[in-house]
Amino acid sequence: MSRLFGTDGVRGLANSELTCELGLRLASAAAVVLGTGTRPRAVVGRDPRASGEMLEAAVCAGLAAAGVDAIRVGVLPTPAIAFLTADYDAAFGVMISASHNPMPDNGIKFFGAGGHKLDDDVEDRIEAAMAADDHPRPTGGDVGRLLDAPDAEERYARHLAAAIDVRLDDVTVVVDCANGAASAVAPHVYAAAGATVIPIYAEPDGININEGCGSTHMDKLQAAVLEHGADLGLAHDGDADRCLAVDSTGGLVDGDHILAILASAMHRKGRLHEDVLVATVMSNLGLHIAMREAGISLHTTAVGDRYVLEELRRGGYSLGGEQSGHIVVPGSGTTGDGILTGLLLMAEMVENSKRLADLASIVTVLPQELINVRVADKHAVAQAQSVTDAVAKAETELGETGRILLRPSGTEQLVRVMVEAPTPELALGIAERVAGVVATVGE
């Protein structure tokens, strides 16, 4: 039987794969596993997609049926739910969102006490509780209640404001809110810090989330930054746990650049624990080179923010993230926070009196080529002798001037071949050669 939980909660096509019935059962099972104490409470939030309304109702019903009070905070970013779980001293938190996925999808993810993501074994216990479905049901006054939290957004905004100690009065920023959970709170937070804010795609109607906008569609933000002569642009995804940027020239500033800027700043201020930055294996070799030259050690993990979080917790490190703009600063939050990332980035511009393009120039991105090869058995193909020989030959050819990464997809029968090299032509040539071997073996 396949596992219900994926790499980031339970996701699927809303009202087809992810139904109200499933949401109710999932919430009740989570209440059994996570709802410790005599009268446990859970924070419940969502992004603005239309299906979130019905799933919120189902989740709250499931919690109440299990004797848990549901604190409804409405439409807020995923990191806000993590923060508020700790701030309200709740037993756990529930976020209803499919992040950067298209509008018809939705998802349900959980945070444990303190706002931390769940370990695999805890998710397995929730699945087991769903299968058992024989838990006692409270009656009378022991049934859970639904509580509204009108101060939730302001609590989260105050938490973000405390992350920087400079004013942003001379910064003009265009903010692409992806018609998502950041639409109200991100412009408010940036403006409260002093920035002149030009919001775009900040009018969610339940249908338009992530539609041609946000961190997966950067062209609109690039055009807006140039049109308004802004100092920078910030792009969030549907649940605002990511942030990518655009400099004043319209140039893209991805997660690797952002990590390098923030790591260098923390290193300079003595706030980077053991001078370590955590990133995934997909980070560009340019980041590795920049950090080595800055005296910072780069620890790499498997792809996925949960693996970055695990390494951050394991070593007590101060900063980690992904090329996609999912940046984690444990001193200011338990999960990736796109709005926090935007604040920290603008604060660095102000403190250094530098343009974002100048700060980002610390990383020279090597040309990268990624080829996805569909195969019958991704793990068998990745371990085949002819494939490992092809990879070894490529590594010898690249030496220290580039790298090759071959890995099975986490969700599909694909083998991903990624090559970085001094020139685009060399990267493409090596990637195509290795991909050809993978395709032959995978037939």
pLDDT 10s digits, 338-366: 999 999 999 999 999 999 999 999 999 99
**pLDDT tens readout for residues 193-217:** 999 999 999 999 999 999 999 999 9
Domain-located, residue 3? no
* Residue whose tokens read 């980077």: 272
Lowest mean pLDDT among 68-82, 384-398, 401-415: 401-415
- Known catalytic residues? 99
Lowest mean pLDDT among 1-5, 54-58, 75-79, 280-284: 1-5
Domain-located, residue 339? yes
CA-to-CA dists, residue 184 to 74, 157, 181, angstroms: 12, 11, 7
Instruction: Note whether 142 and 191 are same-domain residues.
Output: no
Instruction: Note whether 186 and 170 are same-domain residues.
Output: yes
pLDDT band at 37 (very low <50, low <70, confident <90, very high): confident
Instruction: Note whether 316 and 390 are same-domain residues.
Output: no
* Strand pairing class (172-176; 196-200): parallel
Q: Is the pLDDT of residue 2 over 80?
A: no
pLDDT band at 38 (very low <50, low <70, confident <90, very high): confident
Q: Is the pLDDT of residue 416 over 90?
A: yes
Q: Is the pLDDT of residue 400 over 90?
A: no
Which neighbouring-strand residues pair with 277?
Answer: 298
- CATH number of the structural domain spanning residue 429: 3.30.310.50
Please report the pLDDT score of residue 229 as a whole number.
Answer: 98
Question: Is 239 within any annotated ligand binding site?
Answer: yes
Domain-located, residue 179? yes
Q: Where are the alpha helices (DSSP H) in 89-244?
A: 120-132, 152-161, 185-192, 219-228
Domains: count for the chain: 3
Instruction: Note whether 64 and 174 are same-domain residues.
Output: no
Instruction: Note whether 340 and 405 are same-domain residues.
Output: no
Please report the pLDDT score of residue 443 as a whole number.
Answer: 75
The upper half-sphere exposure of residue 235, i.e. CA atoms within 13 Å in the direction of its Cβ, equals 27
Instruction: Note whether 197 and 136 are same-domain residues.
Output: no
Examine the fold and report which residue of 330, 360, 390 is the final residue of a domain before the chain moves on. 360
**Residue 25: in which H helix or E strand, if any?**
helix 20-34
CB 254 within 8 A of CB 286: no
Q: How far apart are CA 443 and CA 436, in angstroms?
A: 11
Instruction: Note whether 187 and 335 are same-domain residues.
Output: yes
Examine the fold and report which residue of 360, 395, 428 is the final residue of a domain before the chain moves on. 360
Please report the pLDDT score of residue 69 as a whole number.
Answer: 98
Tell me the helix, strand and coil percentages in the chain, rounded to 5.
Answer: 45, 20, 35
CA-to-CA dists, residue 200 to 116, 228, 239, angstroms: 31, 12, 16
Taking residues 2-14, report their average pLDDT: 88
- Find the domain containing 340 and state its range: 163-360
Instruction: Note whether 245 and 284 are same-domain residues.
Output: yes
Share of the chain above pLDDT 90, in %: 90
Closest among 321, 338, 372, 335 to 100, alpha carbons compared = 338
Instruction: Note whether 78 and 179 are same-domain residues.
Output: no
Question: Is 389 within any annotated ligand binding site?
Answer: no
Examine the fold and report which residue of 342, 360, 378 is the final residue of a domain before the chain moves on. 360
Taking residues 71-84, report their average pLDDT: 98
Question: Is 219 within any annotated ligand binding site?
Answer: no
pTM: 0.92
Taking residues 46-65, report their average pLDDT: 98
Domain-located, residue 244? yes
Domain-located, residue 168? yes
CB 441 within 8 A of CB 381: yes
Please report the pLDDT score of residue 7 as a whole number.
Answer: 77
The average confidence (pLDDT) of the chain is 95
Domain-located, residue 156? no
Domain-located, residue 5? no
Instruction: Note whether 226 and 338 are same-domain residues.
Output: yes
Q: Is the pLDDT of residue 442 over 80?
A: no
Please report the pLDDT score of residue 411 as a whole number.
Answer: 66
Q: How far apart are CA 122 and CA 111, in angstroms?
A: 11
Closest among 235, 243, 233, 183 to 208, alpha carbons compared = 183
Instruction: Note whether 77 and 53 are same-domain residues.
Output: yes
Domain-located, residue 356? yes
- CATH number of the structural domain spanning residue 352: 3.40.120.10
**Structure-token pair, residue 339:** 């709005």
Instruction: Note whether 177 and 122 are same-domain residues.
Output: no
Question: Is 237 within any annotated ligand binding site?
Answer: yes
Query: Distance between terminal CA atoms of the chain?
Result: 27
